[in-house]
Structure 1
Amino acid sequence: MNSNMHEQEYAEMARPLESLPTEMELLTQWGFNAEEIASLLWLRQWYQNGGSDRAAIVRHLEFLRLLVISGELEL
Structure 2
Amino acid sequence: MGSKALHPQDRPVLSEQETRVLREAARGLTNREIAARLYISETTVKTYLSRLFAKLEVNDRTAAVAKAIETLGLKP
- TM-score between both structures, scaled by the size of structure 1: 0.33
- TM-score between both structures, scaled by the size of structure 2: 0.32
Greater C-alpha Rg: 1
